[in-house]
Structure 1
Amino acid sequence: MRLCRFMDKGRVHQGVYRPASPGQDQGGVLLDEAGLPHDPEGVVWLLPFTPGKILGLALNYKDHAEELGLNRPEEPALFWKPNSALLPHRGTVVYPKGVEFMHYEVELAVVVGRPMRKVRAEEAMDYVLGYTIANDLVVRDWVKNTFRPPIRAKGHDTFLPLGPFLVTQDEVQDPHALWMRAYVNGELRQEGHTSGMIFQIPEILEFISSFMTLEPFDVILTGTPKGISRVRPGDGMRLEIQGLGALENPIEEEA
């Protein structure tokens, strides 16, 4: 199922989105908890769920590490993404004043379904609730080796658009076989495939749960492929992952 939350006429709804046909991301029907239809263009989209902890992986695609001139990590390179950075589908991203190089990152986000602690890779997928799209926005100006992990660069308010749906695991046959694309103002800027992950989802979950308890609705960002480029105020971003829909967000300069 494609689970979602939205507001229409002042009321918050827990709903589902039913595509027109399997594999299609457009032309579907948005239904509320009573099964009544709503216009997807006329509602205010909310986060599809309330995330718990949010962890990201740096350099989890070889081609992305190469475009930055960095070596691939020997183990999953983790960083925190603050919950205050969360932003729903069609929410406005704030571009900090004085920044020279800010960019998008299309990422497959894994949502944990039940508590995990010291779970082996062979069993890890049994703990996954589903998936969503994440835009792990970064100010490259602020990524300095002396300041890693890049909390300031990645932790600005509005720097984690997430959604529009929580797609349950039963609808995703293989999370390592999905196309990922990022468009800016309709121009294709980034394209990759989840098969390019250095550390795949079972390995990631085994590694994190070896020292940290993962809980329901915790979110793991699994990295981005090559293809980053500058975005500026006035731009519109559209991030797509095969079978998960499209996450759209405009950018405005900080007041």
Structure 2
Amino acid sequence: MKLVRYGEPGRERPALLDAAGVLRDLSGIVPDIAGAALLPEGLAAIRAADPASLPKVEGSPRIGACIGGVGKFICVGLNYSDHAAESGMAIPDEPVLFMKPPNCIVGPYDNVEIPRGSQKTDWEVELGIVIGKTAKYVSVENAYDHVAGYCVINDVSERHFQLERGGQWDKGKGCDTFGPIGPWLVTTDEITDPHVLDMWLEVDGKRYQNGSTRTMIFNVPFIVSYISKFMSLQPGDIISTGTPPGVGLGQKPPVYLTAGQTMRLSIAGLGEQQQTTVAAA
């Protein structure tokens, strides 16, 4: 299934995308694509509904982030060997973890703000894992049982804030609008293997990232199991799993975003995003 949230920010409604590409409202089945709706029984209730019997969403509403009420937005850094090389950093022995605050989350077509004082705002197309069942000390073998599905994430980053302002990476990762998510949550039954997905990102029509999840260092079940040893994961938590090479930091010379540009990005089977960059008010 492809699950969607549509409507104005803070007032999104749940929907699914049917086989014909039509949005069907799910408000009569679940209150939101969040929390209990992502449990196995919640997804089963959605799956049991006949899409043709659900109300059609009229017009062209705004598409919001595909997950609501996110508790934790956890990211894995340097998880692609070729991206680590372009960044001049060693391949990690264990996953590098950092957090993005949930308030950075926006829809897949919403504007991305260039923060005040920004010198090096950058892009990163990433595979997102959406947790569907509480995970605490889970094994690698059982990790998939705790995954509801996958989505596209643009892990927007300000490299000057991240790497040159002292302290942790979070300063350059959590600015408002730095977490476009969606357009869809694609449930695991539609993605046979999340480690063979092509992914790309363009800025103003120029393709900078053109990679694949095949080059991930730590795979999906390992990541879920690993993180669950340090913190419990709840339904609706999101894990962003790292980016392939081609980020602005890795260009020679580096290239960074300015206001008035357009980013387009996609992962095979998970849909496409597009954002315009604007100066922060």
* TM-score, reference length from structure 2: 0.83
Q: Distance in 2 between matches of 1:172 and 1:44?
A: 25
1:54 positional shift:
0.9
State the match for 2:171 in structure 1: 152
Q: Aligned partner of 1:49: which letter?
A: I
Match of residue 23 from structure 2: 30
Gaps of 5+ in 1: 21-27
Distance 2:158 2:273 in 1: 20
CA distance in 2, matches of 1:89, 1:146: 29
State which of 255, 259, 275 in structure 2 corresponds to 1:233.
259
Whose strand fraction is larger, Structure 1's or Structure 2's?
1
Could you give the per-residue CA deviations for residues 110-153 of structure 1, whole angstroms, max 9, x where no partner exists?
00110111111011011100011111111111223773421111
Alignment partner of 2:116 out of 77, 80, 97: 97
Question: How is 1:45-64 mapped onto 2 (pairs within 5 angstroms)?
Answer: 45-50=63-68, 51-64=70-83
Moved more, 31-40 or 76-85: 31-40
Post-superposition CA distance 1:145-202 (Å, at most 9, x none): 7734211111111111111111111010100010011111222111110011101111
- SS of aligned partner of 1:239: strand
Identity of aligned residues (%): 39
Q: Which 5+ residue runs of structure 2 have no aligned equivalent?
A: 27-52, 249-255
Task: Give the 3 Å change call, closer, same or farther, for CA 130–46 of structure 1 in structure 2.
Answer: same
Letter in 2 for 1:3: L
Match of 1:246 among 272, 275, 278: 272
Deviations 1:52-78, CA, capped at 9 Å, x for gaps: 211101100011110011101110100
Asked if residue 195 in structure 1 is aligned to residue 221 in structure 2, the reply is no
Q: Give the TM-score normalised by structure 1.
A: 0.91
Deviation by residue 1:195-221 (Cα, 9 ceiling, x = unmatched): 111011111111111121111111111
Q: Relative to total residues, which structure has the larger helix share, 1 or 2?
A: 2
Match of 1:16 in 2: 16
